Structure 1
Amino acid sequence: MIAMNVFSPRWSRWPRSRCYPLALALLAAISLSACGGGDGGGDRAIGAPGASAPDTSPSPASGDPDSSEGTPIRIAFGGTGLTARLHDNATARDLASQLPLTLTFSDLSNVEKTAPLPRELSLDGAPEGHDPAAGDIGYYSPGGDLVFYYDSEAPFFDGIVRIGEFDGGMDAIEHQGGDFSVTIRRAE
């Protein structure tokens, strides 16, 4: 093996101004091949021209469409009336088919109010679980309970299906003490 000294007179014949473009072209070629090339089939890096941030919103396949769709409902208890919307998924449609309902809710862990439903709801196309937020309406399939979440501290849990959301604040539900009766009906 013959060792070449890059500082030898033979290498110094190339002017440095010609080396920089060559080095940059070589780096660009290596970078493109490492990133999948410019074939147009790969993802663009976030921040690159024409790129967009990844979509972190629930996908339509998860059954969580925009709140402007679905079945509007009214929730009444103790002289208070709230409005909400059931989403367009199999579980929510199954609940809507049972309305009107009067259920007895209880507080669970200072984050949610739960009530047993008269029968189990359909889980067709439902995700394995959900990480609920304040204002969500959920179905807890292992217990067959309807759940109103008023605090975002509820963790992801297997068996929770998001079926709707309240249109406004949850203060009235959060401040209900003890067991309380709720009537749920389609809004007119």
Structure 2
Amino acid sequence: MKKMLRLASILVISVALVACGNNDSSATERDSNTNKHLNGVVEQSKGESMADTRVKLMFSNKEVFVRMYDNPASRDFLAQLPLTITFEDYIGKEKISILKKRLSIDNLQAGNLSKKGDFAYYAPWGNIAIFYKGFEKATNDLVILGQIESGKENLENIDNDFTVNIEKVPK
């Protein structure tokens, strides 16, 4: 009889612990599913997607549209918009501009190879890079923020520094 009572007690305690564990994980899931503000970045809930998030770069009566990728650096960049920055040519393959505020690259896997049309962040310098030609050399510090959808040709023939207004395109 004592063994049955002990077994029943263990069973009740086990069920109670499992229920408490599920409540904690439900609270964690609920918290992660809500919008929250962390280090100046508004994180999107799991139900929202950045798949349709685009930015527009405007300069010299021309436009370039970039579809943003879903990563912490991209979200951090979007939180800084609208921006007006000056780009310059770098090694005949990319246009670069140093950001006033560095982007968060926590928990990001950097080291991507760039390709034509990439909109990227180079962490050591804290700069945005727009690749208008491919760049074969690998770097461990390049984070791809997005991909140009249209207007690549507007960047290729600019030799001088140029000022760009960047804003998020409404969905």
TM-score calculated relative to the size of structure 2: 0.67
Residue among 151, 167, 175 paired with 2:133: 151
* Number of matched pairs: 121
CA RMSD of aligned residues (A): 1.4
What CA deviation, in whole Å up to 9, does each residue of 1:70-106 have, x standing for no partner?
A: 5211110000012111111000000000000011000
Structure 2 CA distance for aligned equivalents of residues 108 and 97 of structure 1 = 26
Residue 186 in 1 paired to residue 168 in 2?
A: yes
Structure 2 CA distance for aligned equivalents of residues 85 and 133 of structure 1 = 15
SS in 1 for 2:116: coil
What CA deviation, in whole Å up to 9, does each residue of 1:146-170 have, x standing for no partner?
A: 0100101342112110010110251
Q: CA deviation at 1:116?
A: 0.5
Partner residue of 2:40? Answer: none
Aligned residue identity for 1:79: N
Structure 2 CA distance for aligned equivalents of residues 121 and 170 of structure 1 = 24
Aligned residue identity for 1:176: I
Structure 2 CA distance for aligned equivalents of residues 150 and 104 of structure 1 = 16
Structure with the bigger percentage of strand? 2
Q: Could you say which structure has the greater relative contact order, defined with CA pairs below 8 angstroms and 6 or more residues apart?
A: 2
SS in 2 for 1:157: coil
Residue 141 in 1 paired to residue 123 in 2?
A: yes
Gap runs ≥5 in structure 1: 1-67
Larger Rg: 1
Structure 2 CA distance for aligned equivalents of residues 152 and 124 of structure 1 = 26
For 1:35-74, list aligned pairs within 5 A. 69-74=51-56
Moved more, 150-159 or 135-144: 150-159
Aligned residue identity for 2:60: G
Structure 1 CA distance for aligned equivalents of residues 163 and 56 of structure 2 = 14
Residue among 97, 104, 109 paired with 2:79: 97
Following TM superposition, the consecutive aligned residue runs of length 4 or more in structure 1 with deviations greater than 6 angstroms are: none
Structure with the bigger percentage of helix? 2
Partner residue of 2:90? Answer: 108
Residue among 90, 107, 110 paired with 1:125: 107
Structure 2 CA distance for aligned equivalents of residues 136 and 180 of structure 1 = 19
Structure 2 CA distance for aligned equivalents of residues 101 and 165 of structure 1 = 18
Residue among 50, 53, 60 paired with 1:78: 60
Task: Tell me the percent identity.
Answer: 31
What CA deviation, in whole Å up to 9, does each residue of 1:32-71 have, x standing for no partner?
A: xxxxxxxxxxxxxxxxxxxxxxxxxxxxxxxxxxxx8152
